[in-house]
Each structure stands twice: as structure tokens, then as C-alpha cells.
Amino acid sequence: MTDTARPPAVNPRHVVDIKTLEMLVCPLTKTRLTLSADATELISVAAHLAFPIREGVPMLSLDEAREIDPEDMGQHRV
């Protein structure tokens, strides 16, 4: 018997609504945010910051953000 790896179950309450994301802006630059390819962060291209999404809630505090190397910016959807 083979053991296949299953993706973890996602609680539907922890999924961020795309329409809600379209209304959010970077707290620093007030520019639009984009969703990361793995949907775990909101990216501010202008500020080179990534804001985590935890249990479906965007953490838009500058204390929560991580800096993104400008060379890595091409990996994120715009």
C-alpha cells in the first residue's frame, strides 16, 4: 500500500475573498496589493514588502511585513 501525500485541508473560513483583497492597499504607500503565487502573502510592489495572510486575515501592519529583495519581485503576480 502506498501512502500518498494529500494537501492540507483548508478551512473555508480561512480563505480570503478576492473582492475584499481588491479593496486593500499598502499601509505605507497606499498602492494596490497583489496576492503572492502561493496565496499566503499580499505584496506591495512599490514598498517591496510582503504582508502575511494568517487564517484568512491579511496582517497589514508594518511590524508584520517582511522586506522583499527587488530582484525577487518578478516572482509575484501583478
Query: Residue 53: which of 67, 71, 68, 38 has the closest Cα?
Result: 38
* Alpha carbon 10 to chain centroid, angstroms: 16
In this prediction, residue 26 carries a pLDDT of 97
pLDDT 10s digits, 35-46: 998 889 999 999
Q: What average pLDDT does this structure show over 48-52?
A: 97
Position 8: which residue type?
P
User: Does residue 4 belong to any structural domain of this protein?
Assistant: no
Measure the CA–CA gap between 65 and 69, rounded to whole angstroms.
13
CATH code of the domain containing 51: 2.20.25.10
Residue matched to cell numbers 512599490: 46
Count of structural domains, the chain = 1
User: Does residue 8 belong to any structural domain of this protein?
Assistant: no
0.85 exceeded by pTM:
no
Measure the CA–CA gap between 36 and 28, rounded to whole angstroms.
18
